[in-house]
Chains A and B, each alone.
Chain A
Amino acid sequence: MTEIPGTIPVFLATWYRRSPYFEASWASGAKAADIYNNMILPSYFDDPVNEYWQLVNHVALWDVGVERQVEIEGPDGFDFTNYLTPRDLSTCKVGEGRYVVITDEKGGIINDPVLLRLGENHFWLSASDSDLLLWAKGVAVNAEMDVEVREPDVSPMQIQGPKSKDVVGALFGPKVRDLPYYHFLETSLDGIPVVVTRTGWSAEVGFEIYLRDGSRGPELWHRVMDAGKPYHIRPTGPSDIRRIEAGILNYTSDMTLENNPYEVGLGWLVDDAKEADFIGKTALRKIKKDGVKRKLVGVEIHGSPLGSWLTEFWPVLASGRVIGKLTAGVHSPRLRKNIGYAMVPIEHARLGTRLVVRAPSGDRDATVVKKPFFDPKKDVPKS
């Protein structure tokens, strides 16, 4: 086995849950993992640059069983879900998905799930890495709404890349192949119950298959690999490079509970005109009125190519003083630049502002630039 820089050994233990694709992923050559929602996420099969080219040129399969679902159901299912998020769900039809933030009373971000509306009063929140289930269950305690909150047996996989349409077309036919962006269908593959969505974490054309019966995991994995063979499908880790090019954020690094939606550029997920009450409404109105004090900005970091992920936050300096931190930083092979995000005080957030980034190997100059770095109108994934 070759050494992988930027990794350390971690226990394999019962308390890290495994997705139904665990065995298949490791048998397919997974070499390193993340722990995400108390589960093992195979995050590295090959050099991330090779995985990136596979994703942007062909099609990649990701074992993202770690995307845990919070299922909300019951007579007040809509009202409760609408209460959890500043985004107005009254325009979200059954069969549609939405990217949302879940906020606490101070406007801090609890999670940034993709929401699926499965029925009038039936929702899934596909959670990023924090125990959204505990928040939703906690809020339900005193909400005086007739609602059930639980974690269902659902394990997503992502099929991402320009040839993903061909793969899902071969598996499910034209109805799924032609799904509009952020829409989904409940269907089955020879009895394997799934929900297929036109979503993903890559900003490429992509789909997610939400498996609804964990015992069918290995079977589904092999079906997808077989269907993808003519299109050169390969299992890879989720691509940090591609998501950063796209301006996609990662909960726990680019945003945490300490951040509100406005400072991380997610103000568009707060509907000013939303009439229904939601948690954080008062706080968010005030934050918007007062303006934010810091901001997550796009940065270009000068100098030689960086690696494919940061192992820690790097300090950001101005006039020799630490003013913020670099939350993401990678080398984009097609832009041939080092790109990333930095959380900085608002007075250092203007486009063109020069900053210094303190890398372990020494200080580097950096410039605040527009993000996304690539395809700002998301023409690629919508195509």
Chain B
Amino acid sequence: MARRETDVSDPWQTKEYGGPVLPAFRLTPWIQRSPYFEAAHRSGARAYDLYNHMLMPGVYTNPVDEYWHLVNHVAVWDVGVERQVEISGPDGAKFAELLTPRDLSQCKVGECKYVALTTPDGGIINDPVLLRLSENHFWLSLSDWDVIFWAKGVAVNAGLDVDVREPDVAPLQIQGPKSKDLMVGLFGSKILDIPYYHLIETKLDRIPVVITRTGWTAEVGYEIYLRDSAYGPELWDRVMAAGKDHNIRPIAPSEIRRIEAGILNYSSDIMLDNNPYEVGLGWTVDLDKKADFLGREALRRIKAEGVKRKLVGVEVEGDSLGAWAPEFLPVLAEGRRIGHVTSLTFSPRLEKNIGFALVPTDHAKIGTRFRVTTSKGERSATVVKKPFVDPKKDIPKA
């Protein structure tokens, strides 16, 4: 897998890929590959992201071109990196409840919920989408980090009869306005009956899958959770064939679109030392839920006392600062560093640099101005409302 011709004056190859890329990353056996890896590579994936010890296509053409494709047509993403923690056993529900402040008694079998997993201190371990496959059977579809160890560790001495493991499951995301048509072509009209954040278990001929009406775009979208990786190449080909009439293309997850939508990325916008309230995920915390959960006391105290810092939406003035930020950008007020920008992108349709910044609460009010140190020098920035586009999520629910 040779690299393409590159601009030697640009050691991080920013121009070629639309953002900075490590010049070379060692491909080693311990870097896992999804069942779609070969297919995605053949389709033109040329720079990667490493996530949950696995490779994920990070760029095919360039992030702006891929963004327009996503918002106008339909895209397929190889997100086999979304590893699952499977929870089952007689106390499965009790254990799943223990892991999250969200009230799962409100989550029926066949439903999905976006949840935060919290520590006894209220810190966020991860922010998976939870799938309830049956009364005591759950998947946590993870963002980056080995949550399997957290869940297994908590299970030790928990006194619950529960099994925690990583199943052979590899998701694909089908996202964009034409995803409904594609999915109907593949699975039939029953697909239209899946409401937002619901799931069905089904088969594509002999290929076992779970389909959810979820995704990381805030466009209409689905995820196909393949339950037997041996069928990976076949499933990929079937999706591509069904998408032909809908102008399908494989692209990478879109930083631009997810930032427009106010979707957070664990390990940049959220870390273990953040609690749900400071990153705007207080709505996923049900302090009074009946079941026991880790972090109740800490979260109650944090809520009562109020947070000291907050993740806010920001607009950074001036011309494009690129499709993604390679490092956390310092936020300055009166010349002093008060926080950092956690994500930043140039939105082609808003024609603005938008992102998130973690700042002290007294600098978090809408309209607050501060400075940001960028690769192109110091810039003015303003705290603005997020999401930046479609705040009520009418688009993905449509």
Contacts and interface: CB of A to CB of B under 8 A. Distances in A.
Given A10-B49, A15-B268, A135-B152, A34 B119 contact: no
A141 B2 CA distance: 47
A19 to B, nearest CB: 13
A189 interface: no
B24 A14 contact: no
A43 interface: yes
B318 interface: no
A312 B29 contact: yes
Contacts of B152: 104-105, 135, 138
Nearest to A10: B25
B150 A137 contact: yes
Of B1, B13, B33, most buried by chain A (CB within 10 Å of CB) is B1
Contacts of B13: 9
A14 B268 contact: yes
A31 B27 contact: no
Contacts of A4: 24
Contacts of A139: 153-154, 156-157
Interface string A124-141: 000001111111111111
B46 A310 contact: no
Contact of B156 (A138, A252, A309): A138
B27 A7 contact: yes
Given A10-B21, A14-B325, A38-B145, A327 B29 contact: yes
A141 B153 CA distance: 8
Given A34-B25, A104-B152, A312-B29, A134 B146 contact: yes
A3 interface: yes
Contacts of A110: 149
Interface string B138-154: 00000011111111111
B34 interface: no
Given A250-B30, A252-B53, A13 B125 contact: no
B348 interface: no
B125 A134 contact: yes
A28 interface: no
Contacts, number: 182
Contacts of B144: 15, 38
Interface string A43-54: 110000000000
Contacts of B28: 34, 253, 309-311
Interface in B7-44: 8, 11-13, 17, 19-30, 33
A9 B153 contact: no
Interface in B282-301: 294
A138 B324 contact: no
B365 to A, nearest CB: 25
Given A4-B24, A9-B47, A311 B145 contact: no
A40 interface: yes
A176 B3 CA distance: 44
A35 interface: yes
Contact of B26 (A11, A32, A104): A32
A9 B26 contact: no
A33 interface: yes
A131 B150 CA distance: 9
B153 A138 contact: yes
Contacts of B294: 141
Contacts of B3: 3, 7-9
A6 B27 contact: yes
B23 A32 contact: yes
A142 B144 CA distance: 25
Nearest to A309: B28
Nearest to B150: A134
B119 to A, nearest CB: 6
B156 A279 contact: yes
Interface in B142-177: 144-159
Contacts of A8: 1, 3, 24-25, 27, 47-48, 55
Given A1-B8, A9-B22, A15 B29 contact: no
B50 interface: yes
Interface string A19-45: 000000000000111110010100110
A313 interface: yes
B189 interface: no
B120 interface: yes
A18 B17 CA distance: 21
A16 interface: yes
B48 A11 contact: yes
A143 interface: yes
Given A8-B24, A14-B325, A138-B150, 14 more contacts: A1-B6, A3-B2, A8-B3, A8-B27, A8-B48, A9-B3, A9-B22, A32-B22, A131-B145, A135-B149, A138-B154, A139-B154, A310-B29, A311-B28
5 contacts: A9-B21, A10-B50, A14-B325, A14-B343, A311-B29
